[in-house]
Structure 1
């Protein structure tokens, strides 16, 4: 293992600032980009150690199976800067088989309503994931039932992603769940699931989103301990002990 330390990538130093945000054009973020570029000699090798986060990766081309309305929305440069497809068809990477076993990680939807730390996305500030979802729903659900059915998971996963990376402790706790399936207990049976005796019902969309986010942050944050914070300045958030889930 190398003892070499690296300047933090912009997507970890400022994890809730999408690449397209104006915050990168002026002030501390713009200054950090200059500093970052001066301290990275080989960008290709650097990206093998710190792969870009979804906030910095290129847009995915929407699949032709999506409606024209949805494709036009995804391709619209005026859409919210933090909204991007994670899969070309807008569907979850994983599926839920209506089963919970000893390997299942059960999370509770309190994280969606948590207001303990604001979610700053670029120049905007939100109190919670639920607030982001509610705002998106109020603004865009009127574009039609087909559109909403195709886009809602994309809204959910992006809102949840920025919550997870807004606190390194949320990120680390998610990584610790390994490859175990995740379900969300929630009264909203689209967001999560409920149980009655041995019967499980609900779509578990936020549980599926959490697993998909986990795949990404495992890679993005794999070498977090190789960051030189003396060079990079203060981290976005600091580590602390957290325990907010359990196995079934």
Structure 2
């Protein structure tokens, strides 16, 4: 790592963004080799982490609030649970609570992102065709345990599925960050995921829109210095940048 050139080896959570810290990927083979290389090229970890904060997939786990049921807390502590099921808040509830019928500072996003199968989503050793598939599989599994478990963890599932979908493609990541501080309204006929307009008003919970805003908050810090990564040192990026001119706000 050279401070004079202001270029850096890529952090593991950007080099391989869909492999959580607890994935076996980091214990053998390519992942383990990259960690060795990373450690050899980062002398001052504390300073480095100021430049490249850890991603949610590498951060400390959030402890479940006592308001969550015992079954839900048991599932969250189960080592066999899917790698990507980690709380973003202790209660499992959204960070934001915004009525976009009042707050008009927003942009629209659409169902294409959830259904998009152009790039498989690899999470650890598992592979999914889309964010929608992740949600469908986990919802079915959690509902088999109990409807209450699903109700308490559904937002956690949504935000993690969206997070891994976005970081799979650097172009999605950068386009989301470019939306700045705008509110995000997700247009969908699923009134839990998003909203529909009825008599000039939005009807729906917009949970995907709120989740995308939280994902953006995290990625803004994590990827702030992405353009200062030395890819000759780091090896090929996980995904390559391309023109997204016709895709703005359609992700």
Task: Give 1:36's aligned residue.
Answer: 38
TM-score normalised over the length of structure 2: 0.95
Between 1:13-22 and 1:23-32, the stretch displaced more is 23-32
Pick the aligned partner of 1:79 from 62, 77, 81. Answer: 81
Task: Give 2:152's aligned residue.
Answer: 150
Between 1:98-107 and 1:201-210, the stretch displaced more is 98-107
Q: Does 1:22 align with 2:24?
A: yes
- Residues 245, 187 of structure 1: alpha-carbon distance in 2 compared, 3 angstrom cutoff: farther
- Residues 188, 95 of structure 1: alpha-carbon distance in 2 compared, 3 angstrom cutoff: same
In the aligned structure 2, how far is the partner of 1:98 from the partner of 1:40?
A: 44
In the aligned structure 2, how far is the partner of 1:10 from the partner of 1:98?
A: 37
Pick the aligned partner of 2:247 from 234, 244, 248. Answer: 244
Q: Is the 8 A contact 1:98 1:201 kept in 2?
A: no
Secondary structure of the structure 2 residue equivalent to 1:115: coil
What CA deviation, in whole Å up to 9, does each residue of 1:71-111 have, x standing for no partner? Answer: 11111121111110000000000113142765311000110
Task: Give 1:11's aligned residue.
Answer: 13
Secondary structure of the structure 2 residue equivalent to 1:4: coil
TM-score normalised over the length of structure 1: 0.96
- Residues 246, 112 of structure 1: alpha-carbon distance in 2 compared, 3 angstrom cutoff: closer
Segments ≥4 residues shifted beyond 6 Å: none
Q: CA RMSD in A?
A: 1.6
In the aligned structure 1, how far is the partner of 2:79 from the partner of 2:126?
A: 17
How big is the shift at 1:201? 0.4
- Structure 2: which 5+ residue stretches go unaligned? none
